[in-house]
Amino acid sequence: MLLKFTKMHGLGNDFMVVDGVTQKVFFSPELIKRLSDRHFGVGFDQLLLVEPPFDPDLDFHYRIFNADGSEVQMCGNGARCFVRFVIDHHLTNKREIKVSTVSGVLTLKLNDDDTVTVNMGKPHFDPAVIPFKCDRKSLQYSIKLKDGTVFSHGAVSMGNPHATIFFDEDVQDSTIQKYGSELENHENFPERVNVGFAHVVDSHSINLRVYERGCGETLACGTGACAAAVIAITQGRVKSPVTVTLPGGSLKISWDGNETSSVMMSGPATRVFEGTIVI
């Protein structure tokens, strides 16, 4: 079978985006792993699949698969690429669309300056929702690793689980290499967790690196940027709006601090090339 796809990225967090509306497609975990290989396949952090909506009031259904073949609930950088893709491929004539995901409905808008704003929905701090094993809900938790190291972190779901650890200075590669995988797979997070290594620069700025579950460290993580901003706001470290700078670039995150309010994320979405591959 000949499969058409588009390679895209959001601040270097890269994707293989596939139209499942006009093409019949099925992706097994083994096929996704093969396609994600950067030497023998297309190469990507996540595969994004555009599907017809299940609800007539929505425009599309949005599915996300990690490079290891696992399906996940949410990808913020991917959401920005999603709306850019469906507009560029004339699957819609709207500049603002609503899409369903495993974790809920997203509103995506292509702005006049070609940036994309995503209504990421409400943050969820309830440990059972994240999911996260702990005795009670708190603004800050402690997590102990095998070598005895203890980190303090905030925890939130942005449609997927996040733990954000704040450091007094920018985090070194050695820290992420040493602790990223163990934190991702810690027993306190039954569905694994995306780990943010953050440094507050000033009252409206955060530097962030994210070790994503199923991917390792990526150049950018939209939900990770939202999680870091939301946790920092709740802990009184910053004020909205927050510029979150990742290795691949910056995102603007706005949230009023109310748990019933949505988090808004704005940033770029870039098309790299169009391609076809035999699967």
Q: What is the pLDDT of residues 115-144, one digit of tens each?
A: 999 999 999 999 999 999 999 999 999 999
Residue 185 labelled as part of a binding site: no
Return the active site residues: 75, 221
Number of domains making up the chain:
2
187 and 115 in one domain?
no
Does 213 belong to an annotated binding site?
yes
> By residue range, what is the domain housing residue 169?
141-261
Structure confidence by residue, pLDDT tens digits, 207-240: 999 999 988 999 999 999 999 999 999 999 999 9
How far apart, in whole angstroms, are the C-alpha atoms of residue 268 and residue 73? 21
Q: Say yes or no: 93 and 182 in one domain.
A: no
Contact of 82 with 62, CB cutoff 8 Å: yes
Residue 135 lies in a domain: no
In a domain, 128, yes or no: no
Q: What percent of the chain has pLDDT over 90?
A: 96
pLDDT beyond 90 at 193: yes
Same domain for 154 and 228, yes or no, is yes
168 and 255 fall within a common domain: yes
Same domain (yes/no): 101, 31: yes
Mean pLDDT of the chain: 96
- 9 and 117 assigned to the same domain: yes
Q: Is residue 51 part of a domain?
A: yes
As a whole number of angstroms, the distance between CA 96 and CA 111 comes to: 9
Q: Verify that 30 and 111 share a domain, yes or no.
A: yes
Residue 26 in domain? yes
pLDDT at 103 over 90: no
pLDDT of residue 78: 95
Report if residue 130 sits inside a domain.
no
Same domain for 114 and 21, yes or no, is yes
Tell me if 30 is assigned to a ligand binding site.
no
Q: Which of 7-11, 70-74, 172-176 has the lowest mean pLDDT?
A: 70-74
Q: Is 95 annotated as a binding residue?
A: no
Residue 80 is assigned to a structural domain of this protein:
yes
Question: pLDDT above 70 covers what percent of the chain?
Answer: 100
Query: Among candidates 30, 27, 23, which has minimal Cα distance to 3?
Result: 23
Are 217 and 201 found together in one domain? yes
CATH number, domain containing residue 168: 3.10.310.10
> In the numeric block, which tokens belong to residue 220?
């950018």
Same domain assignment for residues 152 and 241? yes
Instruction: Please indicate, yes or no, whether residues 159 and 57 belong to a single structural domain of this protein.
Output: no
My answer on whether 81 and 165 are in the same domain is no
Whether 172 has a binding-site annotation, put simply, is no
Cα 80 to Cα 200: distance, rounded to the nearest angstrom: 25
* Residue at 126 is within a domain: no
C-alpha distances (whole Å) from 144 to each of 1, 181, 187, 212 are 48, 14, 10, 19
